[in-house]
Amino acid sequence: MTTKGEHMSQVPIASRTVRLSVAAPAFNEADNIAAAVEEWRSYLEGHPAIGAWEIVVCDDGSTDATRAILEDLRKGCPELVVVGFEHNRGAGAAIAAAIAATRLDWVVLLDSDGQFPIANLGRFLDRIRDGEGAAFSGARIRKADGLPYRWGSALSGAIGNLLHRTRYRDFNSIFKVVYGPLFRALPLESGGMNCSTEITARVVEAGHDWIEIPIEHRQRGGGSRGWRFWRGARDRALFVGYLGYRRWLLRLGVLRPPAVPAVSGEHADPALEVR
């Protein structure tokens, strides 16, 4: 019996393309969203290693023109899927909803504020086609965030590595490329900006190692963070503590690791609007 990686390695790279979904949250990104979607579309259309593709954006209850802009973009881009919430529910909920609405073999997680250029994906594609793994994460070469955010990320990342006995350079990076069935099966709970940290932990709990690849990181193009620094720092500390407690229960056998099905399934949220 061959594994997925063994089966993929038998296919010549030149004849194999990657079926790819982009998943992204958006909250009050009217200043950025059109440019972001156009950048993603242009890259996906033009890259020879990418076959079928789609872009799934979850509008997290924006109060500006984000939803209207997305709906207008859909008229000229049938590959754009717009899902959304009537009221703001937080970045974690929007990320989970966008991932759940994807359909293709691989999912790349991006932000809608321009921090992570989709051109970073070029460093991942050959390794995906070679069947090297199921989970790839972008390690920011130089973080463009302010100093307090970099300190907070570095501290929580160090604790995350300690808890999970890993040595990842960028535990909290949101730029991730994950095999679709695995990504859609992860039971994500985070409601705020800690979702990228939780995704890293959940994949490790499911028995997969992350392959880190250096990426470029840019300053935000605008939009809203959806949280304040001190509230975010408090929430991150509480969430990392929760991850540690859950990891301890997993080691004791009190909790079971998440079950990862072999095929993708829909995890529809009854509060989610799909258009």
pLDDT classification of 153: cutoffs 50, 70, 90: low
Domain of 105 in residue numbering reads as 4-260
Which pLDDT belongs to residue 89? 92
Average pLDDT, whole number, for the chain? 82
- The answer to the question of residue 183 being in a domain is yes
- The answer to the question of residue 19 being in a domain is yes
Which pLDDT belongs to residue 55? 98
Q: Is the model's pLDDT at 36 over the cut of 60?
A: yes
Q: Is the model's pLDDT at 110 over the cut of 90?
A: yes
Identify whether the C-beta of residue 145 lies closer than 8 Å to the C-beta of residue 58.
no
Q: How do residues 244-264 score in pLDDT, each as one tens digit?
A: 777 777 778 887 777 665 433
Which pLDDT belongs to residue 228? 59
Which pLDDT belongs to residue 253? 83
Residue with tokens 């999970």: 164
Residue 149's CB is within 10 A of a number of other CB atoms, namely 15
Which pLDDT belongs to residue 232? 66
- The answer to the question of residue 273 being in a domain is no
Q: How many domains does the chain have?
A: 1
Which pLDDT belongs to residue 76? 94
Q: Give the closest residue to 195 by CA, choosing from 58, 21, 53.
A: 58
Q: Is the model's pLDDT at 275 over the cut of 50?
A: no
Write the CA distances from 65 to 69, 74, 78, integer angstroms: 6, 14, 20
- The answer to the question of residue 268 being in a domain is no
- The answer to the question of residue 272 being in a domain is no
Q: How do residues 154-200 score in pLDDT, each as one tens digit?
A: 777 788 888 888 999 898 899 999 999 999 999 898 877 788 899 99
- The answer to the question of residue 217 being in a domain is yes
Write the CA distances from 84 to 12, 91, 205, integer angstroms: 39, 12, 29
Which pLDDT belongs to residue 157? 74
Question: What does the alpha-carbon distance between residue 200 and residue 104 come to, in Å, rounded to a whole number?
Answer: 21
Q: Is the model's pLDDT at 82 over the cut of 50?
A: yes
Radius of gyration of the chain (CA): 18
Q: Is the model's pLDDT at 43 over the cut of 90?
A: yes
State the DSSP string of 74-111. Answer: HTT-TTEEEEEESS---HHHHHHHHHHT--SSEEEE--
- The answer to the question of residue 267 being in a domain is no
Q: Give the closest residue to 37 by CA, choosing from 61, 53, 60.
A: 53
Kindly state the average pLDDT of the residues 124-145. Answer: 86
Query: Which has the higher per-residue pLDDT, 153 or 243?
Result: 243
Q: Is the model's pLDDT at 111 over the cut of 80?
A: yes
- The answer to the question of residue 251 being in a domain is yes
CATH number where 190 lies: 3.90.550.10
